[in-house]
Amino acid sequence: MRADDLETGMVIDGFTVGDLIHRGGMALLWRCTHPEIPFALLMKVPKLGEHEDPATIVSFEMEQMILPRIKGLHVPKTFGIGDFAKRPYVVMEEISGPTLLPKLKNLPLPPDEVARIGALLATALDSLHRQNVIHLDIKPSNVLFRPSGEAVLIDYGLSHHSQLPDLMAEQFRLPYGTAPYMAPEQVLGVRNYRRSDIFALGVLLYFFATAVRPFGDPQSLKGLKERLWRDPIPPRRWRNDIPAWLQEVILRCLEPNPELRYPTAAQLAFDLKNPDQIPLTARASKMRQDGWFTAMRRKNSAETYAPAKKLATQSKFASAPIIVVAVGPKSIDGPLGVALRDKLANTLDATPQARVVAMTILRDNDGPLDLNGLASSGNRHVARIVALRHWAKPLGLRDQAISFHVPEAANPAEAILEYARANHVDHIIMGARAESTIRNILGSVSAQVAAHAPCTVTVVRQREWPVFDGPQLLQDDATAKAAQ
Partner 1 sequence: MIAFFGDIHSNLQALEACLEDAAHQGASRYVFLGDFVGYGGDPVPVLTRISQMCASGAVAVKGNHDDMAGDFDRDMNASAARAAKWTREQLSPEHRVFLDSLPLTYADADRLYVHGDASEPEKWRYVSNCDGARDSFDACSARIIVCGHVHQPAIYSLRADSQLSRFVPEPDCPVPLLKSRRWHVVLPSVGQPRDDNPLSGYALYDEATCEIAFRRIPYDIDAAASQIIKAGLPSGLASRLYRGR
Q: Which residues form the interface with partner 1 (CB under 8 A)?
A: 54, 57-58, 61, 64-65, 83-85, 88, 163-167, 170-171
Other CB atoms within 10 Å distance of the CB of residue 288: 9
How far apart are alpha carbons 172 and 189 in whole angstroms? Answer: 9
Whether residue 430 contacts residue 445, with contact meaning beta carbons closer than 8 Å, is answered with yes
Q: Which is nearer to partner 1, 61 or 93 (CB)?
A: 61
Q: Which is nearer to partner 1, 132 or 379 (CB)?
A: 132
Q: How far is the CB of 66 from partner 1 (least distance, A)?
A: 10
Q: How far is the CB of 46 from partner 1 (least distance, A)?
A: 11
Q: How far is the CB of 315 from partner 1 (least distance, A)?
A: 11
Q: How far is the CB of 82 from partner 1 (least distance, A)?
A: 10
Q: How far is the CB of 308 from partner 1 (least distance, A)?
A: 22
Q: Which is nearer to partner 1, 171 or 472 (CB)?
A: 171
Q: Which is nearer to partner 1, 83 or 333 (CB)?
A: 83
Q: Which is nearer to partner 1, 163 or 219 (CB)?
A: 163
Q: How far is the CB of 165 from partner 1 (least distance, A)?
A: 4
Q: Which is nearer to partner 1, 171 or 377 (CB)?
A: 171
Q: Which is nearer to partner 1, 49 or 165 (CB)?
A: 165
Q: How far is the CB of 78 from partner 1 (least distance, A)?
A: 13
- Three-class SS string for the chain? CCCCCCCCCCEECCEEEEEEEEECCCEEEEEEEECCEEEEEEEEEECCCCCCCHHHHHHHHHHHHHHHHCCCCCCCCEEEEECCCCCCEEEEECCCCCECHHHHHHCCCCHHHHHHHHHHHHHHHHHHHCCCEECCCCCHHHEEECCCCCEEECCCCCCEECCCCCHHHHHCCCCCCCCCCCCHHHHCCCCCCCHHHHHHHHHHHHHHHHCCCCCCCCCCHHHHHHHHCCCCCCHHHHCCCCCHHHHHHHHHHCCCCHHHCCCCHHHHHHHHHCHHHCCCCHHHHCCCCCCHHHHHHHHCCHHHHHHHHHHHCCCCCCCCCEEEEECCCCCCCCHHHHHHHHHHHHHHHHCCCCEEEEECCECCCCCCCCCCCCCCHHHHHHHHHHHHHHHHHHHCCCHHHEEEECCECCCHHHHHHHHHHHCCCCEEEEECCCCCHHHHHHCCHHHHHHHHCCCEEEEECCCCCCCCCCCCCHHHHHHHHHHC
Q: How far is the CB of 112 from partner 1 (least distance, A)?
A: 41
Closest CA to 259 of 324, 184, 209: 184
Closest CA to 266 of 367, 368, 357, 397: 357
Q: How far is the CB of 62 from partner 1 (least distance, A)?
A: 10
How far apart are alpha carbons 405 and 322 in whole angstroms? Answer: 14
Q: Which is nearer to partner 1, 163 or 365 (CB)?
A: 163
Closest CA to 236 of 215, 206, 262: 206
Q: How far is the CB of 198 from partner 1 (least distance, A)?
A: 24
Amino acid at 163: Q
Closest CA to 94 of 34, 174, 137: 34
Q: Which is nearer to partner 1, 98 or 165 (CB)?
A: 165
Q: Which is nearer to partner 1, 65 or 409 (CB)?
A: 65
Q: Which is nearer to partner 1, 69 or 433 (CB)?
A: 69
Q: Which is nearer to partner 1, 164 or 233 (CB)?
A: 164
Q: How far is the CB of 364 from partner 1 (least distance, A)?
A: 50
Q: Which is nearer to partner 1, 165 or 335 (CB)?
A: 165
Q: How far is the CB of 92 from partner 1 (least distance, A)?
A: 17
Mode of pairing for the β-strands spanning 456-460 and 427-431: parallel
Q: How far is the CB of 47 from partner 1 (least distance, A)?
A: 15
Mode of pairing for the β-strands spanning 427-431 and 322-326: parallel
